Structure 1
């Protein structure tokens, strides 16, 4: 079993493997995370990639798919149904297969980098000093 420092974020993410041991499965379905690693018992409740994988995939694939659709439109000026049978399948083929590896990479990154939920810092009250405080309004007199 490799330590977390020895694990590659991209390596375990692309394989869909446990970020701690690298042997167990990270997913229990196509995109659903398993409750825990079957090999080392790591509880995956720490992982919350939210919409990160979908956002990164859509933003990455938006340029080539949009370019492809525009090329078809400007070159051939086809009817709308042609886009449904060319551009839409290209969009699905470009986005769906890479969702799982992106999600695996984000979960592995959360574990290896020990990411936590953000918290607000509570300001400490100012320390009392022995200096006298001037009454308000008396400074200009």
Structure 2
């Protein structure tokens, strides 16, 4: 979708659909059926979420990026106050899990909303007339 295109009324922008789990068609909060599992379709407008191929591509990137950031924070904390090991375990393990799950939720929502707004579909070979 070019930058100047107006989003039709009722359709949330990609960032809002991703952050709040909104249907990219009608804006209802029906995108997710669990932490990162999509509903089969929107309960409000009937949009079929199964036709979009989001996959688990964002998972590896998010895990690596979030892992690098949290390791840097853990090293900084350790250098600053040198807490015992159990403090690191209690602090960083749940924070890592929560950050990865929420990050994956946002990334998958953004990909689905982006595919919907750009009307992405699988490529098809077009038969050209031969002379």
In the superposition, the TM-score normalised over structure 1's length comes to: 0.66
- Is this contact kept in 2: 1:49–1:106, CA < 8 A? yes
- Is this contact kept in 2: 1:68–1:87, CA < 8 A? no
Matches within 5 A, 1:1-141: 3=8, 7-23=12-28, 25-74=30-79, 80-118=85-123
Q: Decide whether aligned partners of structure 1 residues 58 and 118 sit closer, same or farther in structure 2, where only a CA change above 3 A counts.
A: farther
CA drift at 1:32: 1.4
Q: What SS class does the counterpart of residue 44 from structure 2 fall into?
A: coil
Query: 2-side partners of 1:106 and 1:72: how far apart?
Result: 34
Unaligned stretches of 5+ residues in structure 1:
129-141
Q: What SS class does the counterpart of residue 26 from structure 1 fall into?
A: coil
Higher mean displacement: 99-108 or 66-75: 66-75
RMSD, aligned α-carbons: 3.2
- Is this contact kept in 2: 1:4–1:112, CA < 8 A? no
In the superposition, the TM-score normalised over structure 2's length comes to: 0.70
Task: Give the count of matched residue pairs.
Answer: 124
